Amino acid sequence: MGRFDGKVALVTGGASGIGAATLRRLASEGAAVVCADIDDERGETFAAELRESGAAASFVHCDVGELSQVEAAVARAVEEHGGLDIMHNNAAWSGGGWVADIPPEDWDRSIRIMLTAVFYGCRSAIPAMLERGGGSIVNTASIEAFGGEMLASPYTTAKAGVVNFTRNVAIEYGRKGIRANSICPGIVDTPMFDVMATFSKRTRKEMAELHAIGRVIRPEEIASVVAFLCSEDASAITGAALVVDGGLTASLNLGGHDPLID
């Protein structure tokens, strides 16, 4: 028996990184899963791999910035697997640069994909969850929801919005059986980390060493937190913004001490 036997999960941005790790984890514990992504080739291949391992899995093309496509993804989950119990809004894209230089179209796309799309995901998933008597929503935010970051204002703004929007979902639907939480990762070894590394003044090694655990986080470690939040073990947790950052924000380290030497 798995924790998610009989449950149906939909993950956006599910073809790689945190999304793929989450789908793999939920499927391994019995959930039927739907991978939603704009990368058709990778998504179809990944869903096929899950099916080969014995999971009930499918892929649906989904541009999360289009409400109709998010609604279609939820409908696919309901039609193919009988309902929807878990929604992980995880897709991301971000522009950046000095505030006065950011192209308006990059700002708009960033907010649409990382914030408006979370609204679309919740708006689409909630009716299906209510039909099942409740469910669990997890929205991917970031530790950058709690602080600024040079040249990353679209990202930090969107992620801050995700945290508070998630709280609204929690308080509006908690008495109807739906829990909603956001996760706030540190630096995770995903394609997004590769993008970050291209404009960071720190090396990948230096960025890893900023974490108290001395390394960046594995996608599977984030997936385990998502699985926990979606399980009955987290039945009293809703409206939370759970930091999963390997100790990255635990210390300002203004004194510049090295814990391995000092």
Which residues belong to the active site?
A: 155
Taking the CA atoms of 124, 130, 133 and 138 in sequence, report the sign of the dihedral they define.
positive
Tokens for 42? 């990778």
| CB neighbour burial string for 93-129, b if at least 16 within 10 angstroms, e if fewer | bbbbbeeeebeeebbebbbbbbbbbbbbbbebbbebb
Contact 88, 19 (CB under 8 A): yes
How many helices (H) does the chain have, and how many strands (E)?
9, 7
Could you tell me if 86 and 8 are in contact, meaning their C-beta atoms sit under 8 angstroms apart? Answer: yes
Residues in Cβ contact with 69 at an 8 Å cutoff, skipping those fewer than 6 apart:
61, 62, 63
Cα separation, 86 vs 84, in Å, equals: 6
For residues 153 and 158, give the distance between their C-alpha atoms in angstroms, rounded to a whole number: 8
